[in-house]
Structure 1
Amino acid sequence: MEEFQHQLFTVLGALICFHILVKCILFLKYIFPHTWNALPQAFFRSQGEWAVVTGAGDGLGKAYCFELAKRGLNIVMISRTLEKLQRAAAEIEQATGQQVKIIQADFTKDSVYENIEESLEGLEIGVLVNNVGMLHNPLPCRFLNGPDVDESLINCNIISVTKMTQIVLKQMELRQKGLILNLSSGLGTFPCPLYTMYSASKAFICTFSKALQAEYKEKGIIIQVVAPFGVSTPMTMHQKPSLITKMPEEFVNESLDYVTFGDEIFGCLAHEILACILRLIPLWVFHSDRFQEAVLTTFSGYLKRNWKKP
C-alpha cells in the first residue's frame, strides 16, 4: 500500500511539474512574440481593406485607428463627439496616407445601428475593434453608493459589442476571414467588488467573445477578447504611466502582436504577468471587507492629496 501511494504521489508530482513547465513554455510567446509566431507584414491587410473601430475619438480607440492604419488598413472611426473624430481623422490621414471615414454615433442610445449599418455597406471590413465602453463609477465605491443604474452602461458596454459584431460578422463569414477584437478589462475576469456594474458588463464581453470564437474559428475568423488592467486614457482620468499603467499607443502596438495567441489576452507583457500573479490569490481576499475598506481608504487619501480646488 505504501509503495502504491509513493508511486501515485510520484506520478501526480510529475504531472504537476509537466503542467507548470508547459505553461512556462507557452508564456514565452508573450516575451518573444516576433520569434514565437511572427505575423506576416501584410497580415492585417489580408483580412480586408477596412478596419472599424468604436470609441475612436481618443484613448485606446484612437490608438487602434493609428496603428491599424500604419499596418495598411483604411479606417472607419465611430464615436460620439464629431470634433474629436474630425481632428483624429485628419491626423491619421496625414500621418499614414490611408483613407479615413467617420461615423458619429452615441452608443448609449440603441437607435444608432441602422445608420451605422448603412454607412458600412459596401466596405470590405477585415478588422472590427469593439472598444467603446464606459465606467459606471469612475472611482471605487459600493453599489448603493454609486450613480443610479440606467440603460446607458448596458447599451454602451454590452449592446454595442453584440450589435456591431452582428453587423460585421455576416460579411466576414461570407469571405471566410476577419479579425474581431473585443475590449474587456482585467476587472471583468473575476467578480470585482467596488466596480460591480463595470466588472459584470466586461465579464459579459469575455464570455460572449470566447463562445463566439468557438462557433466561428473553423470559418477562418479570429475573435479575441483583450482585457487590459491599466491604460492611461480619459476614462481612467489619465493615470500616470507606470510599469502597469500603459500609454494607449504602447499598449495597442504590443497587443496587436498577440492577435493569434488565443481567445483571451491581457494585451501586453506587464498585464500578462499581473494576471498570472492575481490568479494565485484566492478570490476571498478580494471579496473580504478588510480589502475593500483598504481600497476605499487608499483612493480617499489619493483624492485628498491630488484634488485641486477650482
Structure 2
Amino acid sequence: MINYFKLKLLKTAFFLGEKYKVETKVIVADFGEREDIYNGIKAGLEGLEIGVLVNNVGMSYSYPEYFIDIPELEKMIDKMVNINIMSVCKMTRLVLPGMLERSKGIILNIASASGMCPTPLLTLYSATKAFVDFFSRGLHAEYKSKGIIVQSVLPYYVATKMSKIRKPTLDKPSPETYVRAALGTVGLQSQTNGYLPHALMGWIISLLPTSTAINLIMKTNKQIRARYFKKMKGK
C-alpha cells in the first residue's frame, strides 16, 4: 500500500494482518508533489512480485466550480494532474515490466463515470478521468495477448469521504458493496462501471445525445454549486 499518511497506512496494515493473517508492505509517498517520488517507490517495491496493481489514488474538487474560478487554480492543476494522471502512468511503468516477464498480471485503474462524458463545473477532474479510461483501454489492447489484464473502472457516486456521502443507498453504495461487485467484472470487461445500478445509469446516459447529457450535467452541478454556497453563507 502507498499513501502519504503514514499512520493510516500502519493502521490499515495492522488491520489486514489481524483479520487476514497477511503481511502488508507500506510505502509513504505523496502523489501530489512535484518532486520525483517514484525512485523511492521503485526501491520499496524491489524484490516483490506484484500480481495486481490498483491505481486508486485520486482527487476532485471541493465543490463544482467554473474552471477559471477554482480556488488556487495553478496549484489545483498541478496537483490534480500529478495525482489523477501522472500516478497512473508512473506506477504502471514500474510494475508492468515484471508482469510481462511472468506473462500474467492485473492492473485496475479507477477512473470515474465523470470521464465518460464532459462534466461541466468538474471539467478538469472529468478530463483527467477520461485520460485514465483511454489509457487503460489502450494498454489492455496492447498487452492482453501477453497475459495482462488492464481494466478501466468508472464508478458513479460511492459513499466515501471524497464524495462527502455518508449514508449508502442503492445507487450510492458503500465501498465494500461496490468493490465486491466490481471485482466480479475483472477479466470479463476491460471497461466497467463496476456495479449494476451504475451500469444502468451509464447505459441511460449513453442513449442521450452528448449535448443533452452535457446540459443535464451542467444543470445538476449548478444546483450543487448553489447549495454549497448557500451552506457556506449560513456558517
CA gap of 1:94–1:208, structure 2 versus 1, over 3 A, is same
Query: Which residue of 1 is the match for residue 226 of structure 2?
Result: 300
CA contact 1:186–1:266 (8 Å) conserved in 2 = yes
Q: 2:122 aligns with which of 195, 204, 211?
A: 195
State whether structure 2 residue 161 is matched by structure 1 residue 234. yes
State whether structure 2 residue 15 is matched by structure 1 residue 91. yes
Q: 1:127 aligns with which of 52, 69, 78?
A: 52
Root-mean-square deviation (Å): 1.9
User: Where do 5+ consecutive residues of structure 1 fail to align?
Assistant: 1-76
CA gap of 1:242–1:287, structure 2 versus 1, over 3 A, is same
CA contact 1:143–1:196 (8 Å) conserved in 2 = yes
Deviation track 1:7-45 (CA, whole Å, cap 9, x = no partner) reads: xxxxxxxxxxxxxxxxxxxxxxxxxxxxxxxxxxxxxxx
TM-superposed deviation, 1:149: 3.1
Say which SS state the counterpart of residue 59 (structure 2) adopts. Answer: coil
Query: Which residue of 2 is the match for residue 25 of structure 1?
Result: none
TM-superposed deviation, 1:160: 0.3
TM-superposed deviation, 1:234: 1.6
Query: Which residue of 2 is the match for residue 145 of structure 1?
Result: 69
Q: 2:91 aligns with which of 156, 161, 164?
A: 164
Deviation track 1:187-227 (CA, whole Å, cap 9, x = no partner) reads: 01111111100000000001111111111000001000101
Q: 2 CA distance for matches of 1:91 and 1:308? A: 40
CA gap of 1:282–1:120, structure 2 versus 1, over 3 A, is same
Alignment of structure 1 residues 94-109 onto 2, 5 Å: 94-109=18-33
Query: Which residue of 1 is the match for residue 36 of structure 2?
Result: 111
Q: 2 CA distance for matches of 1:216 and 1:250? A: 30
Q: 1 CA distance for matches of 2:96 and 2:233? A: 45
Percent identity between the aligned chains? 40
TM-superposed deviation, 1:283: 1.6
Deviation track 1:249-300 (CA, whole Å, cap 9, x = no partner) reads: 1111111111012210011111111110111122212333x86345323442
Say which SS state the counterpart of residue 277 (structure 1) adopts. Answer: helix
Q: 1 CA distance for matches of 2:231 and 2:82? A: 35
Q: 2 CA distance for matches of 1:299 and 1:242? A: 22
Alignment size in residue pairs: 231
TM-superposed deviation, 1:303: 6.4
CA contact 2:170–2:197 (8 Å) conserved in 1 = yes
CA gap of 1:115–1:294, structure 2 versus 1, over 3 A, is closer
- Runs of 4+ off more than 2 Å: 290-295, 297-309
**Matched letter for residue 295 of structure 1:** N
Give the greater-gyration-radius structure (CA): 1
**Matched letter for residue 30 of structure 2:** D
TM-superposed deviation, 1:240: 2.8
Per the normalisation by structure 2, the TM-score is: 0.92
Q: 1:219 aligns with which of 133, 146, 165?
A: 146
**Matched letter for residue 207 of structure 2:** L
State whether structure 2 residue 135 is matched by structure 1 residue 208. yes
Q: 2 CA distance for matches of 1:293 and 1:257? A: 34
CA contact 2:105–2:147 (8 Å) conserved in 1 = yes
